[in-house]
Structure 1
Amino acid sequence: MLLSLLLALPKYAMNFDLKPEKLHRQNIPTARLPSGTVIEIPIFSYEAKKEGPTMLLMAGMHGDEINGVEIMRRIIAQKLYQVDAGRVIMIPVFNVFGFINFSREVPDGKDVNRSFPGTKNGSLASQFAHFLMQEIVPHIDYGIDFHTGGKLINNYPQVRAMLDDEKSKGLANAFAAPFIINSPFRDKSLRKEAGKHGKSILVYEAAESLKLRKHAIDEGLSGMKRVMKHLKMIADAPTPTREPITIIKSTWSRAGRAGLHYAQARNGAFVKKGDVLGVISDPYGEYEKPMKASHDCYVLSINNNPVVNRGDALFHTGVVPS
């Protein structure tokens, strides 16, 4: 395989004791291709003269989730990192291997966000996770991890947080995405491992992998600014265009049989019990059956795969507290 590589990582040394009010870039070597080419992760930082919290902004944990990468690109290009207080650490593309290979995983087939806290000499995914936990997380107070739906999953803009934790709840409310989803920690995720060290990481999910969507990017940028204002890092931020909807419980509606799938419900819409979410039919015009909502709910995500198998997750729906 072209991207198979030596597991031994080159030496690296992060340095955040740098001149304030200046953007700094550090290229951190993480591995080599068999050709000897060094793979580096560019990490940017900016520190104001006034003291304040340190925020991590990162994308590309999954290499095919491009909307987050574009959000990070705009943050740097538009100099949105120039805070009045505190420090911003930015990682536009964390999983460089997945990014250049249009892949969610690293070349060993593992998901970096299921590999935390990682180990120095483990799998490649584990080594990436170990680097982040050892070299970045100790320096931060808060973070926003920009994500996109998995393969062919279109997520309506949403943030995920532990709402029984006041710091996380405050970040989620400040971000003010259209949906705030109460999301328990997942084992071996960055959010869980950082939380063990008292670091609050907010996860933003929007749109579909390998596709750029303006609304998802705009919501991410606006939410990031609102979080910075909430933390008193900047003075102004956009006012939300709608009141966020808090989802306490969510579930997936799954295909009852295999066939062709046509979604009819609009992403982000409220649907009532019995409303048609989509239709599953066979390829030969002999079978057609609607999928109906089992309860009043909001549509949070839609699987855009037109060919489905029985049991495939097709609609992620959530209910609000009664």
Structure 2
Amino acid sequence: MRRTITILGETVLPGQSKTIDMEIAKLHNTAKLKIPIIVSRSKIDGPTVLFSAGIHGDEINGVDIVRQIITKKINKPKRGTIICIPIVNMFGFVNMSRQFPDGRDLNRVFPGSKNGSLASRFAYHILTDIMPLVDYAVDFHAGGASRFNAPQIRLAPNNAELKTLADVFNAPFTLYSKNISGSFRNSSQKLNVKMLLFEGGKSLDINTSVSNTGIQGVKRILDHLDMLDPKQTLEKQENKTIYIEKSAWIRAKWSGLLHDNGYIGAFVKRDTVLAIITDPFGKFEHKVKAPNDGYIINANHAPIVYQGDAVYHISKTLVDGNK
């Protein structure tokens, strides 16, 4: 039994809850910038689960999900340990920016370096000081650049354990996607941490439905691991997650004003008119049509688009989730 857990020099005993502040660097005005790590332990031994968000500082919907996990006391485990980091990239969150102040994407610099760039140092300490303690993790993200993601889990193909966890989480969609070099998910897998990546909503936005989907998925994961506090209730779900093996982006053929027809999350037939692109002067109206039957798993909510911009993400190949 793991009697003690030590993070950044602070020890958390069984039955304890503690907030540990991670301080790697200060703001340019010398003000301290603390990243709270909320640790809750049961007196009964069990797995350690991490719920993290805000690796991209402008993806606030994930921050809201982890916040609610804490405020609703979902992070008080029946057994084992739950670690919550609502905001990993506090620098980006303060600036409402995706990147670190050094211009780097934190989710592309893992495993990082102790003496590297600011983002690289953060990646190093997360992997060195936290992830060796973790057995399971869910990292929460949102779509960037005004693109709204239908709630979805992403996982690497050919991993039976992750497939089981994705079935349990039961988001509306589950996408098979290879781990990206330099990503948190890729480095965590190398440490044998079983991590799901959740995508939902868009940057600089909070969507209640997306938050609820994430929270219910977290409860199901904890229930599956026999960690959910008996005081918590589970919503009954009849629909099973839809597995998507291949998908493609539909790109704008014209520049102009984008009028979205609201098909996010829906199954559409080929040639369904997903949007209209118009010019500001009433000269033209062009239809954006679905190139094939499929589910719309991402929609661009920007009012203005340029030729070549990604406007919709549509599934191409579905797989039997029971396999």
Aligned to 1:279: 276
One-letter amino acid matched to 1:137: M
Pair 1:201-2:199 in alignment: no
Change (3 A) 1:110 1:27: same
For the residue of structure 2 that corresponds to 1:50, the secondary structure is coil
Q: Kindly state the Cα deviation for residue 15 of structure 1 after the two structures are TM-superposed.
A: 4.5
Q: Is the 8 A contact 2:7 2:130 kept in 1?
A: no
The residue identity in structure 1 corresponding to 2:225 is L
- 1:59 to 2:34 alignment: no
Aligned partner letter, 1:207: G
Unmatched segments (≥5 aa) in structure 2: 1-5
Is the partner of 1:38 in helix, strand or coil?
Answer: coil
Task: Give the drift of 1:34.
Answer: 2.9
CA distance in 1, matches of 2:154, 2:29: 40
CA contact (8 A) 1:226 1:238 kept: no
**38 and 13 in structure 1: CA distance in 2 versus 1, 3 angstrom threshold:** farther
What corresponds to 1:131 in structure 2?
Answer: 125
- Quote the offset at 1:279 in angstroms: 1.4
Summarize deviations over 1:4-42 as a string: whole Å, max 9, x none: xxxxxxxx9624642322321111111012332221111
Residues 54-79 of structure 1: CA deviation (Å, up to 9, x unaligned):
11111111111111111111111121
Distance apart, 1:109 and its partner CA = 1.3
What CA distance in whole angstroms lies between the structure 2 residues aligned with 1:243 and 1:287?
42
**Residue number in structure 2 paired with 1:249:** 246
Report the CA distance shift for 1:269/1:295 in structure 2 as closer, same or farther (over 3 A): same
1:45 counterpart = 2:33? no
Equivalents in 2 of 1:183, 1:194: separation in Å? 15
State the match for 1:263 in structure 2.
260
1:146-198 deviation digits (Å, cap 9, x = unpaired): 11111201111111112410111111111101111111111110001111121
The answer to whether the Cα contact below 8 Å between 2:10 and 2:20 also exists between their aligned partners in 1 is no
Aligned to 1:321: 319
Residue 192 of structure 1 is aligned with which of 186, 193, 202? 186
SS of 1:39 mapped into structure 2: coil
The equivalences for 1:64-143 within 5 A come to 64-143=58-137
Q: Number of aligned pairs?
A: 311
- The alpha-carbon deviation at position 315 of structure 1 amounts to 0.2
Q: Which moved more, 1:267-276 or 1:69-78?
A: 69-78
Amino acid at match of 1:305: A
Structure 2 residue 34 is the aligned partner of structure 1 residue 36: no
Deviation of the 1:245 alpha carbon: 1.1
**Using the alignment, how far apart are the partners of 1:125 and 1:225 within structure 2?**
31
Question: What is the rounded CA distance, in whole Å, between the counterparts of 1:88 and 1:16 in structure 2?
Answer: 16
Residue 238 of structure 1, CA deviation: 2.8
**Separation of aligned partners in 2, 1:249 and 1:52:** 36
Over 3 Å counting, the alpha-carbon distance change for 1:127 and 1:291 in structure 2 is: same
Return the alpha-carbon distance in structure 1 between the equivalents of residues 95 and 262 of structure 2.
33
Amino acid across the alignment from 1:27: D
**2:37 corresponds to which letter in structure 1?**
I
**Percent same amino acid among aligned pairs?**
39
* CA deviation vs aligned residue, 1:192-227 (integer Å, no higher than 9, x gap): 111112111111111111111110111111000101
Q: Does 1:211 align with 2:205?
A: yes
Q: Which moved more, 1:297-306 or 1:42-51?
A: 42-51
In 1: Cα distance, 2:29 partner to 2:58 partner: 24
Partner SS for 1:52: coil
The alpha carbon displacement at 1:241 in A equals 4.8
Q: TM-score, normalised by structure 2?
A: 0.92
CA distance in structure 2 between the aligned counterparts of 1:300 and 1:264, rounded to whole angstroms: 14
Pick aligned residue for 1:238 from 229, 235, 241: 235
Decide whether the 8 Å contact of 1:16 with 1:45 is kept in 2. Answer: no
Q: How far apart are the structure 1 equivalents of 2:270 and 2:7? A: 56
Structure 1, unpaired ranges of 5+: 1-11
Amino acid at match of 1:321: V
Q: 2:16 aligns with which of 22, 41, 44?
A: 22
Runs of 4+ with deviation above 3 angstroms: none
Structure 1 CA distance for aligned equivalents of residues 207 and 188 of structure 2: 29
Distance in 2 between residues matched to 1:267 and 1:31, nearest whole Å: 40
Aligned to 2:292: 295
